[in-house]
Amino acid sequence: MLNEVLIVIFSYNREKLLLSEYSRSSVFWYCLGWQWYMQLAPFLFAAATSQMITEIAKYSIGRLRPCFIDLCEPKFTDRVTGQQITLTRFSAACNEPFVYIEDYTCTTTAYSEKLLKDVHLSFMSGHSSFSAVCLLYLVLYLQSRFNWTSLGLVKHLLQAGLVFLTFYTGMSRISDYKHHWSDVLIGLLQGTLVAVMVARYVSDLVQLRSVYAPVHQQQLIQPTSTEVTTKSSRQASNVSVSVDANV
């Protein structure tokens, strides 16, 4: 593999492929660093893109979390009766259940400005989207890079474990009353879509875009027709010069 890399980098000078130990070491570390960059950069790009989409949705929509009533216990004025109502999980349904109530006061002792801001960030689930984009990208990475036949079902077991962990993360957000089921579903779909798009069009998991690109060695070493013609002309001129000198 290292010889192919050296041929690719120094193919412009075909007569000087014998490199010093220092040059070989430099090329090795350059290629190693490039490989780390090609693997980590798309992964970080996918995670950052998914997180940015999630944050935009959270602050644009402002959907209340399922635990809002327990954390706030809002107190408001009923528009029908004019009475002050403190809403808890055990309260009866209000007289106007399909009317937005914007003027309310949180009465619970756990109320704070930070909490009031957080309870409006239900859609979409950040845990679901982040786990989906990271873990499913790793699933695609294992499928593309781990091609050892001796592994057997180990690769597929790892992939299944990552998928199960993604699913468990989303379900835990519903059982903890942190998100609605639709928040989790959209988060999982968004993270999955970003992971597939980045793996397909940004990373080199599908198409190799690095210094290790498979280039046939014979195509690099074999001289072109122009080089053959030039070399033959040089040899002919050298022969004619030597003949003239002898004469």
* Catalytic residue list: 127, 179
Contacts 24+ apart (CB under 8 A), 58-64: 58/121, 58/122, 58/123, 58/124, 58/126, 59/121, 61/123, 62/120, 62/121, 63/120, 63/121, 63/122, 63/123, 63/180, 63/183, 64/119, 64/120, 64/122
Structural contact between residues 137 and 43, judged by C-beta atoms closer than 8 angstroms:
yes
Distance CA 52, CA 64 (A): 20
Distance CA 152, CA 110 (A): 53
Of 222, 221, 200, 218, which is closest to residue 209 (Cα–Cα)?
A: 200
CA 146-147-148 angle, to 5 degrees, is: 100
Q: Which contiguous run of DSSP H or E holds residue 161?
A: helix 154-175
Of 227, 243, 50, which is closest to residue 135 (Cα–Cα)?
A: 50
